[in-house]
Structure 1
């Protein structure tokens, strides 16, 4: 396999087992998108977080392959911890321990086949979800002879929050301008644009609410499961945000595994 092949040949589900064996032997960086199935306003589909984290992983894979670093995009985790959207139809939640076990099993299965580098991308930013992802990373903290190293491209770290736009920096971004723009850039036919255009901006004090112990969007008054400014979204903004998410991912990988990038473009 060469870096000149289409990205589709660098998604695990598109490979045959001999192709997977060949790519595993090349010491790839495996990208694991994590998301959730939950309400995102009256204008976006339930799998927004899956769409975003998958697009982030694929954009990062393009950059890695172009730099001469083998990359493999794993099938996304489409379910997560979704306590905050309780009371809205369409929410499917895992318990935190279930999500932890799923990720742990994926890592162990891959490391049995020789994979040593796995980077999660995550677009579902509910505190309990992020807590699980950061926690399971600590259990897989270094490459050894028989163990894989798991890392998280964590856009919630202070160094990154200001690079993803004003709405993201405030935290008022659930199904707002930030997320809607990315979906417009990646899967526009699934956005209910007529509904989007009519939605008023809504600030619900999400970050302050979480810090004070609020447990759901309904408690915050987000009675349509969105906040921010969805009507301000555009595909152009979404493409810019996605490129920055890809940059965050590649930089995270480069800092974790500088030796893998030696000799890369």
Structure 2
């Protein structure tokens, strides 16, 4: 970091201050959430709230450890069309989101910073952001990374979720109870676990074979999980673990060198014609 400032929110700096604060080793974090249906018991802003809250806490904690980490405002409207049928879902198309993140990457490339982290809180964004990481690497020479807003999903399934608690279930409901308890209404929460999917050995959300789906495909109320046992204490534990894990990841990103010190290759991250990867 080239300048000392009390904020880690890049948008709170003036342009001149940002140029002075950022350097080639600065890590810039861009959280991505969603505004979408999360059953009758959770707010539409669930994914946005979790991504924004964990990212800001992690950036502050990382900065306190001396890491050169900065955060951009969280993107709220993303690729949520799997919930297109449900009231309140606000979604944009894949090409609109891709163009948005590519243009933001182009803007970041005009600063001294060279490392961009997508800090994602919505599963529907994953495939697109993976493609965007390579696009930004190739076109602008940025080092790009994609990480989840919480510790890996398999680490926090609810006891009755059969590995299918991916949306508005035990973990997300507990997190929102911790962060904004007044937004949770457990009196209308119901388990919505498509147990028949657990019978497939190879096909599933976290198995070798994935599949295209909409959230109303499963004869449920549009959620996937069991929120009925959620509680704020578990949400606090999950939040703390997610922040701690993110800080450790930021430390690795700060020192990451794909070439292992062997040199940078061709400009902009390009490889010679005919090379494979």
Q: Could you say which TM-score interval applies, normalised by the shorter chain? A: 0.7 to 0.9
Structure 2: state its 5+ residue gaps.
Answer: 258-277
1:232 equivalent in alignment to 2:224: no
Using structure 1 for the length normalisation, give the TM-score. 0.80
Out of 114, 131, 134, the residue aligned to residue 135 of structure 1 is: 131
Give how far 1:102 is off: 0.9
> Equivalents in 2 of 1:138, 1:103: separation in Å?
12
Aligned twin of 1:147: 141
Which 4+ runs in 1 deviate beyond 4 A? Answer: 165-169, 205-214
> Equivalents in 2 of 1:165, 1:237: separation in Å?
12
Deviations 1:117-174 (A, max 9, x none): 1111111112xx21101111122348x9x73211011479xx9343334468813231
1:163 equivalent in alignment to 2:155: yes
Give how far 1:231 is off: 2.5
Aligned twin of 1:254: 251
Aligned twin of 1:204: 194
Give 1 or 2: higher helix fraction: 1
Aligned twin of 1:121: 119
Question: Do the aligned partners of residues 122 and 42 (structure 1) sit closer, same or farther apart at CA in structure 2, a change above 3 Å counting?
Answer: same
Aligned residues, how many? 246
Root mean square deviation, CA, Å: 2.9
Structure 1: state its 5+ residue gaps.
Answer: 261-265
Out of 43, 54, 57, the residue aligned to residue 56 of structure 1 is: 54
Contact 2:54 2:242 in 1 (8 A): yes
> Equivalents in 1 of 2:79, 2:32: separation in Å?
11
Aligned twin of 1:186: 179
> Equivalents in 2 of 1:96, 1:152: separation in Å?
17
> Equivalents in 2 of 1:155, 1:73: separation in Å?
14
Using structure 2 for the length normalisation, give the TM-score. 0.77
1:88 equivalent in alignment to 2:86: yes
Question: Do the aligned partners of residues 135 and 169 (structure 1) sit closer, same or farther apart at CA in structure 2, a change above 3 Å counting?
Answer: farther
